[in-house]
Each structure stands twice: as C-alpha cells, then as structure tokens.
Amino acid sequence: MNAEEDVTVRDLETGLRRRLQEMGRLALGEVLSQADVDPARNMACDCGGVLQYQRRRCAKVLRVFGWVEYQRAYYAGCDCGRGKAPLDEKLGLAPGQVTAGLATLLGMAGVELAFDYSSSWLEPFLLFEVSENTIRKETQAFGELQIAREAALIEQSHNTTYLQERLRTQTEPPTRVYGALDGAHVRIEEREQRAEAENPPESGQNQPVDAEKPPAEEDKWREMKVGCWYTVEAVPPSQQRKRHRKKEEIGQQALRARDMHYFCDIKAAAQFEPLFWATGCQARVDLAQEVVFVCDGAKWIWNLVERNYPHAVQIVDWHHAEERLEKVARDALTGEHARSWLKDTRDALWQGDTRFVVAACEKLADHSPAAQEALTYFRNNVQRMRSDEYRAQGYMIGSGTVESACKQIVTRRLKCSGAQWTLQGAIQTAKARAARLSGEWNLLSSLRDRLPLAV
C-alpha cells in the first residue's frame, strides 16, 4: 500500500469484508459442487418414468455472499420432457433465485422500510445490490406464509377434537388477558379498485353479512382491521417515566402491555371474525379466567366481542371518550364556560358518572352536531364507561396498545410518502410486519427454509 494514499480505517474494513465475502462465495460454491460428485446413471422421474444422467450443469443462486455459482448433476430424457437436478431439490435451491437465508434478511428490511429505500439501505451491509422488486417479492412471500399459518389456525380453532384436547392437556390457564381491535385506512391503487368494481363476487360467495359496504370505485382507501392480544403488568417505580408518574398522581395505576400478539386483514367484520377467534385460541384467550377488551366505540368491534367473548369485560377507551367531550366543548361553547363544562364532564366521566355526562350533552345537542354525536356515543356505551369500577379492579382503561399497533403496522409502513398498494400487496406486507412485531419472524423463517424451492 502506498503510504501517500489517503486510506481510512473504513476503507480497510470494507476491503477486508469484500475479500471475506469473495472467499465465502467461492468456498460455498465449491462445497455445493462437491455435494454430488458421484451421480447415479439413472433415477426415477416424478411421473413414474426414468431420468438419465446428462452432465454436470452450472447454476447460480443469490445468497448472503452474493451470486454463488456451483456445478451439480442434471438428469433428463424422460418421455414427460422434464429434467431434474436432485441437489437443488434436496437443498431447496432454485437457480436464479434468492436462497432462504438471504430472503430472511430481505424480508426483515422490507417490513421495516419502503421497498425502494430498502434496496439502497441494504447495499452497504450486503456489499451487493438487491433490486426493489426482489425485496418486495421476498417480503410479500413472508406475508403469504403468514396467511397460510392463519388459515391453519382458523381450521384448527373450529376443530372440536382439537379444542377438547386442549382442555384435557391444558396447564394453568391465563389469569387475565386483554384484547383490542381498531382500524386504519390504507390507500389502494385505482386499478385494484376498478377491477373489484367490475368483477363483484357472485351471489352468496364471501359477501359481508354485516352493515359494512364494499368501497365505491372512486374510493381509494380501505380499512385495515388490526387486533392485538396482550397481558398487562404494573410499571415498577424504577422504570416509570413522567407520563407514568402523572397517571399515579391522578389515582390511575401505571400499567403497561406485554406479550403482544398482533393480527390484521382488510376484510369486512364478518370475514375478519374467524381470524379474531383463531388468534384468540392461539393466545389461549378462550381458556383465560378473565378477558378484558379495551376499544373505542365502533359498533363492529363490540359486535365481534359480544359474539365471541360474551362474558368479557368491555371497556371503552378513556381517551376516545375524553376526546368526544373536548370536541363538544370546542363546538358548542366558548371561553371559561367551555373550560368549566369540560372539567365537570371529564371529572364525572372519570368517576363513572355517565348519567351526568349524558345529561350535559343533551342540553347542548339541539344546537351542536358534536354534542348530538357525543350523546349517541355515550348512550350506546354507558355500560362500558364505569371508569371508577375499572380502576378499582386494576384494569387498564386506555387502548393505546392497539392504537400503537395501527401506527406501527399501517401508518409507519403502509402510509409511506407516495405509497400506493395493490390489495394483495398491502395485506401481505402488513401480515408479515405483524408477525415480525409479534416476535414470530423466526417461525416464518423456519417455514421459509422448508419450502421445496425458493419462492
């Protein structure tokens, strides 16, 4: 090395990484090439015929070392016209495609970052370029694996034999499990909407049975329904932040969610219901001593809860209810009168005095649309707003967990600047990200490893 050259430590590190990568690429190619150096003359074909050894044929696959070339035995000559490379099938290799190990890394990047940005972000780590389309393909392949997992869970959750066996073999059931549902909207490409409008489902085939309507052609947004199962624990004093201490100052125990399991889909509520029940079975919610739902006031949410968990504790999120009061105060009142009204109704709501809140909204409903809406909201949810009782029993009364899920799954990933999605792409990416946030990525990666050929 010329002493006069301006070489940095980073240059040395990058050069060494490239040399090690090249060594790994060559070594792996040699290992694969030596895996079947003594091939048989003939072998059985899948069609029942006989394949004859032809020659050793070159192939390459994209791995964490970059493109790896190798030689392997190739068979052909069967009447069906198909050939076979046994080594590829044995190791799950698809020439010209991404291997499972690299696919895991690409999928992790794709669920975290926009596909176009993922490509440039990964290059300094991998030391080679992977296209945006490849990252999209691999990420959404993980979404398909999650869809297959969920389909198996749904089938299992309706299997009477399986459910009875769970009861016989179950250890100590969970004490208290929380659930929450919410929705966030995703922009779907116009051509996807148009195709859906021009080819509606045939009568009786997977049509929603609730009051929700499919989107109009010009409607570019679809609701992604997001759910979360979790448990709750008290925040130790040594770990409390300012927001936790503020809660305790007003008599609310500082609680936090843990062991979150997320699920999502773009479907009408009736079609979403099987996934809601199946993931609940997976989380042993149906066996829990107590189930608590903390959600906003959306009717579809409480309909699902009441049909599937009729004995669950139902709590309307405190913050959503409080925001309703703030909206009424802004719309119907001004100045000190608005502040006084808001304080009185908020205090009453905190103490579970919903009759006072309803009466306060009634007085303003004739001349305030916001008060009229709030009146309907509070009347419909009176039994879910006993805040004093809930706090006394140590329940969490805020739905921040599922709202955070909506932000993490939908807002931060599917609502990137300028992003437009096909319906299938949005669902696949969201499901893959939900699995990642639920700590299930290793499970999906193991399923990816078992595929007979790379996706």
Is 70 exceeded by the pLDDT of residue 195? no
Q: How confident is residue 11, by pLDDT bands cut at 50, 70 and 90? A: confident
Please write down the HEC assignment for all residues of the chain.
Answer: CCCCCCCCHHHHHHHHHHHHHHHHHHHHHHHHHCCCCCCCCEEECCCCCEEEEEEEEEEEEEECCEEEEEEEEEEECCCCCCCECHHHHHHCCCCCCECHHHHHHHHHHHHHCCHHHHHHHHHHHHCCCCCHHHHHHHHHHHHHHHHHHHHHHHHHHCCHHHHHHHHHHCCCCCCEEEEEEEEEEEEECHHHHHHHHHCCCCCCCCCCCCCCCCCCCCCCEEEEEEEEEEEEEECCHHHCCHHHHHHHHCCCCCEEEEEEEEEEECCCHHHHHHHHHHHHHHCCHHHCCEEEEEECCCHHHHHHHHHHCCCCEEEECHHHHHHHHHHHHHHHCCHHHHHHHHHHHHHHHHCCCHHHHHHHHHHHHCCCHHHHHHHHHHHHCHHHCCHHHHHHCCCCCCCHHHHHHHHHHHHHHHCCCCCCECHHHHHHHHHHHHHHHCCCHHHHHHHHHCCCCCC
Burial level of 236, CB count in 10 A (0-12/13-18/19+)? exposed
- The mean pLDDT of 274-301, rounded to a whole number, is 93
Q: Are 226 and 181 in contact (CB under 8 A)?
A: yes
Give me the chain's average pLDDT, please: 87
- The mean pLDDT of 432-436, rounded to a whole number, is 96
- The mean pLDDT of 158-164, rounded to a whole number, is 87
Is 90 exceeded by the pLDDT of residue 251? no
Q: Determine the pLDDT at residue 455.
A: 32
Best CA proximity match to 363, nearest among 381, 346, 345, 348: 345
Q: How confident is residue 250, by pLDDT bands cut at 50, 70 and 90? A: low
Q: Determine the pLDDT at residue 3.
A: 52
pTM: 0.84
Is 70 exceeded by the pLDDT of residue 326? yes
Is 80 exceeded by the pLDDT of residue 336? yes
- Candidate ranges 28-42, 120-134, 248-262, 405-419; pick with highest mean pLDDT: 120-134
- The mean pLDDT of 348-366, rounded to a whole number, is 94
pLDDT tens digit string along 81-112? 999 999 998 888 888 889 888 999 999 999 99
Q: How confident is residue 184, by pLDDT bands cut at 50, 70 and 90? A: very high
